[in-house]
Every structure is written in C-alpha cells, then in structure tokens.
Structure 1
C-alpha cells in the first residue's frame, strides 16, 4: 500500500491546514472502510445510474478520478506550527511532511470522514468487486489524489462544503449537514451531561441528556436557518436558505471570538439544562425531534436578531430557573401537550404544526425577556396556528 503527503496549504478563510496527498486505491479503500457508518445519515449511494456505470467502466481502463476530499480528526499536526499562516505558498520540509504522513497513516477509519467523494468511493468498491484476482492486484495499485483537512472543526468545514456545493447543488443542505455530523459530535461531546447516540449504536433515548446525532445535525440546520422546517423541497427556497446560511457562517468565521461555534454550543448547553430540569418524568418532551427543532430555530432566530440577542441569555436563564422550580408543570409541558393533541390531523401536518408551535412559543418567551410563563406562551403561540 502506498500513501504520500506531497504538500500542505493554509486556508486563511477557515483558519485550517490542508494536506495534499497521493494514495493507491488499496490504501484509500482500507482507510475509508466503514466511513459511511461514521455518519448519522449519509447521502444515498447511487448504484444504477448510467453515469456511474460508465465511471466503473472507465475505472477498469485506468481513468484518473477527481480529487477526493477527506476530513481526518484526532491526529498530531504540531509540525504545522513550523510554518507561517501568511505564506501564500508553503514549502514544507520533507521531514515535516513525513511526520504528517505517519500521523495520517496511523489514524483509524473511525476518525476519517469522506467530505466529497462518497459516490466515487462506492464506484471504486463496486469496480473492485467486478474484477478477478489478477485484475484486482493491478487495480489496487493505481493512484488517487486526496485533499485532507486535518483536525478541522465542524463549523468551518460546514462553511467550506456549503460554499463549494452552492453553485452545482448536488445534494440538499440537509444532506450536507448530515455528512458533516461526525465533526459536530466531536465539537459537542465535552458538554456536561451530554450523550450523543450515533445510528450504529442502535440505542434509544431513555434518559435526559441523550440525543441522537441525527437530531443534533438537524437542530444545527434549524438554528442556522432560523426555521424549524429543515426539509426543503422547493429549490428556490433551498437556494435562499443556503445563501443565507453561507452569509451567516461567513460572518461568524471572520469573528475571532468563535461566535458561530459558541452560539450553537450555548444552545445545546441550554437544551441539556432544560432536559435535566424536566427529569425522567418528562423525558418524552425533548425526546421529540419536533420540539428540539422548534427550540433550535427560535434560539437561532434570537441569536441573529439585533433586538433579541441581548435578551436571549437572560431569558434562557429565567426559563431554566423556572423549569427547575416548577415541579408540577415545568415549561408548561401539560399545556403544550393539550394544544398539540388538539391539532386537526385532517387539516394540518402534525409535525410541521408542532415545530411551528414550539418556534413561536419560545420566540415569544425570549421577546418578552422571560417575563411571561411558558404556559402562557404556548397559548399565545397556539392562537397563531
């Protein structure tokens, strides 16, 4: 197996080093084995389309694939400190490149995500299965170009991915966020009391603090786009949402205080505190994805609103204190349940109606700086349904 780091570059927009590398198919397929399972929800693999059938035929002949983009986490990249981030063309020493090379070689597939190239990877695996033993040996020795983002955090990678895909729109924003969810889990896993459940864990939420990674990925999208409805079927609306998300991520990446990252982490921290305040008796409340998305969208709305962003911290502190103090009806969940059960299923989509109800109620609570109990906010929000 062959793998070679050929250079490093620094992206001043997202403040991260990128490694340029070459590998043979054998090294690449082994290093990315199971990467699809690292992701909470993966983009559907295209198996029967004519373009990918043609690609497999070309691979058998020996075509060169476009560069595949990977994200590699938890490696020692300290040698990058030897280079100035302001150098437009970094000339790294062979010793330092070898150090990075060894660090990447020694990482496990669990720390490797395919950011761009899942379909090409699947085409490689399918082509390999179609070859006999002698053909496989030759096939696995062919070279592949790689772009590897090392120890990159979720938020800058999300910006980069959305930006590059904005023009061609090969997959929805939701799919792109889902693909990056492994980095999101890394970024949130140190929050007190959180347990992130991945799809491969085959576990259900049974206590406060447990959240499925797919739910958190959708919550990030709802928080960023300030809307509780993350499934977009209208391409015009989807384009507007992505453009707004890019502007939002781009502005916050410029800020040195990590506003974007800290803002979403703060939301999840508030979510955890509220979840604990409700306790196991009300475990179903935040176990409902529609509730989490509604909260995320409302807090994202306030986070980006010049009028509400100053009220947000105090309002959430009051909400948490109130939930801890009220043992009978914390967060007015009894009122919420009564309103939700009254939704006319013949006239409304219950999921959309619930997400909208939560979004409006929490937004109303923040607008009033926590001076109105949540039970009343549920009633006010219901009047807008």
Structure 2
C-alpha cells in the first residue's frame, strides 16, 4: 500500500493547502472505504451502464483515470505552518514531504471524503471484485493521481466546487452541496445538543436535537440561496441560484470578516437546536419536518445577507427562544398545524406550499425583530397561500 506526495500548493482565495499525490489502488480503496455510503444522498452510483462497463474493461487493461479529488481532515497543521503562502510556487522540503506522506498513510476512512470521483471509485471497486489471484494483486499496485485538500473548511470547499462546476453544470447545486456533506457534518458536530444522523447509521429521529445530515445539507443550500425550495428544475433559476450562492460564499471568504461571516450558518443551526429542545418531545415532529427546517433556514439566510434585516436577526432569534419556552403553545405550533392542514392539495404542492408558509412567517417575524408573536405571523403568512 503506497502513497507518494509529489508537491504542495496553496490557494490564496480559499486559504487552503492542496497536496498533489499519487497512490496505488490499494491505498486509495482502503482510505475511501465507506465513502460511497457516506455520500448516498448525492447522485446515485451508476451501475451497469455501457460507459462504465467500458471503463471497467479499460481498467483491467491498465488505463489511467483522471485525477480524483479528496478532502482529508485532521492532518497536523504544523506540517504546513512554516510555508510562506505568498510564494507563487511552493517548494516543499523533503522533510515536509515525508511528514505529509506519513500523515496520509495514517489517515482513517472517516476523515476522507470523495469530492470528485465517486463514479470512478465505484468502477474501481467493481473491477477489483471481478479479479482474482495475481490479476487482483497487480491491479491493486497500479497508480492513481490525486488532488488532496487538507483540513479545508466546509465553506471554502463549497465555494471552490460550485465555482469550478459553474461553467459546465454536470450536477445540480443540490447534488454539489450533498457531496460536501461530510465537511458540513464536521463543521457542525460540536454544536451543543446536536446529534447528526448519517444515512449509513440507519437511524430515525426520536428526540429533539437529532437531525439527518441530508436535512442539514439542504438547509445550508436554502440558507445560502435564501429560498426554501432547493430542488430546481428550471435551468435559468438554477443558474441564478448558483451565481447568488457563489457571490454569498465569496463574501463569506473575505479575509477581514472571515470568521464572523462563516459562523452565520453555524449560528442558525445552533439556534434551531435550541428551539427544537425548548419545544420538547411533545412537539418533536415540528423540527423533525424537513419543510419546516428549510423554511427557517431560508428566512434566516435572507436576513443574514440583507443589510437592513441583519441587525434584526439576533433580537428575533432571542425573542423566538423565549416563545419556544411557552408551555401552552410554543412557537404557535397549533396554529401552524391548522394552517398547514388547510392547504388545498388540489391547487398546491403541499411540501412546497408549507416551505413557503414557514419562510414567509419567519421572515416576517425577523422583519419585525421579534416584536410580534410567531403565531400572528403564521396567520399573516397563511393569507398569502
């Protein structure tokens, strides 16, 4: 099992180091074991189609795959701390090359995400399964080119991925965010009271504070694009959403306000977890409903990016936490349920209408800086359905 670090580069726009490397198939397949399951919320793995059948045949003949992109967490930052990031061409010392190699040798599958190359990885695994004996051993010794982003923050990776895919759009924005969900989980896992459920856990939400990773990934997209409806079928609208997301992420990456801006979505998730805990087990279904979470996320994102509303967001958050502690009717959930049930299923898509209902109500609550009760805002929002 081998990996060879070839060089080191630094992306000044997203403040992250990238390792150029090559590894044998054995190292790669070992370190990405389980990534397919981790990322099942993205595009389904393509099986049995003619192009991938041809690819497996070519792999047996020794073809070279296009470079695969990985994100790797928990690499000792001291390894790269001494480099001058203003250097246009970083020349990594032999000592640091060796340290990076050792770090990557020791990395575990839980710290590795496939950013670009899931289908190629599946083709490798399927091909390996078809080989035996000496052919199998020879296959595992073949080399693969890798681009490895080390300790890259979630925001930075999201910006880079959306920007590079913006011209060709091989995937929807939703799929691209889903692919980065491992980094998102890493970014949110230390929020007090949260438990992030991955698809491979085969668990369902049974108590406040538990959120499926797929829900949080969609919430991030809703927060970023300021819309609760994240499934885009209209290409023009999808293009506008990606462009707006890039602009938002670009602002968030500005050096002077980097930390404060990047904490915006974390702050939102922390707020939702607190609200979820306060409304209690009796109302577990409220924030267990994806449509509610997406509506809240879109409204908070709308306020976060709006100069006028941004100053009202935190007072509204504080007021809503007080309302959530109301033992009689926290957050006006009873009124919300009545309004939701009154949606005409013959005229509207219930899921989309509910997301819009929540978005408008929470946005109005923030607009008023929490001076009205959310129950009143449900009623106002219902009049627009």
User: Which bracket does the TM-score occupy, shorter chain normalised?
Assistant: over 0.9
1:251 aligns with 2:242: no
1:256/1:318 Cα in 2 relative to 1: closer, same or farther (>3 Å)? same
Q: Equivalent residues in 2 for 1:121-200 (5 A)?
A: 121-200=121-200
Q: Could you report, residue by residue, the CA deviation over 1:320-357 in whole angstroms, capped at 9, with x for unpaired residues?
A: 12222x21111111100110111111221111111000
The whole-number CA distance in structure 1 between the counterparts of 2:307 and 2:120 is 44
Structure 1's unaligned 5+ residue stretches are: none
**Alignment partner, residue 51 of structure 1:** 51
Q: Could you report, residue by residue, the CA deviation over 1:120-139 in whole angstroms, capped at 9, with x for unpaired residues?
A: 11111222223342322222
The whole-number CA distance in structure 2 between the counterparts of 1:37 and 1:77 is 28
**Alignment partner, residue 278 of structure 1:** 279
Runs ≥4 in structure 1, deviation > 4 angstroms?
none
The whole-number CA distance in structure 2 between the counterparts of 1:307 and 1:93 is 50
**Alignment partner, residue 317 of structure 1:** 318
Kindly state the Cα deviation for residue 40 of structure 1 after the two structures are TM-superposed: 5.9
Secondary structure at 1:75's aligned position in 2?
Answer: coil
The whole-number CA distance in structure 1 between the counterparts of 2:208 and 2:44 is 31
| Counterpart contact for 1:295–1:362, Cα < 8 Å | yes
Structure 2's unaligned 5+ residue stretches are: none
Q: TM-score, normalised by structure 1?
A: 0.97
Q: TM-score, normalised by structure 2?
A: 0.97
Q: Equivalent residues in 2 for 1:195-206 (5 A)?
A: 195-206=195-206
Secondary structure at 2:170's aligned position in 1?
Answer: coil
Q: Equivalent residues in 2 for 1:227-376 (5 A)?
A: 227-257=227-257, 258-324=259-325, 326-376=326-376
The whole-number CA distance in structure 1 between the counterparts of 2:45 and 2:171 is 12
| Counterpart contact for 1:361–1:378, Cα < 8 Å | yes
The whole-number CA distance in structure 2 between the counterparts of 1:63 and 1:205 is 45
* Root-mean-square deviation over aligned CA pairs: 1.3
Kindly state the Cα deviation for residue 102 of structure 1 after the two structures are TM-superposed: 0.7
The whole-number CA distance in structure 2 between the counterparts of 1:235 and 1:165 is 14
The whole-number CA distance in structure 2 between the counterparts of 1:192 and 1:339 is 32
The whole-number CA distance in structure 2 between the counterparts of 1:26 and 1:152 is 25
Secondary structure at 1:88's aligned position in 2?
Answer: coil
The whole-number CA distance in structure 2 between the counterparts of 1:193 and 1:239 is 36
The whole-number CA distance in structure 1 between the counterparts of 2:71 and 2:368 is 43
| Counterpart contact for 1:38–1:110, Cα < 8 Å | no
| Counterpart contact for 1:315–1:370, Cα < 8 Å | yes
Kindly state the Cα deviation for residue 298 of structure 1 after the two structures are TM-superposed: 0.5
| Counterpart contact for 1:361–1:377, Cα < 8 Å | yes
Kindly state the Cα deviation for residue 365 of structure 1 after the two structures are TM-superposed: 0.6
The whole-number CA distance in structure 1 between the counterparts of 2:204 and 2:134 is 46
Q: Could you report, residue by residue, the CA deviation over 1:25-50 in whole angstroms, capped at 9, with x for unpaired residues?
A: 12111111111222361321112333
| Counterpart contact for 1:36–1:42, Cα < 8 Å | no
Secondary structure at 2:56's aligned position in 1?
Answer: helix
**Alignment partner, residue 74 of structure 2:** 74
1:282/1:40 Cα in 2 relative to 1: closer, same or farther (>3 Å)? farther
**Alignment partner, residue 214 of structure 1:** 214
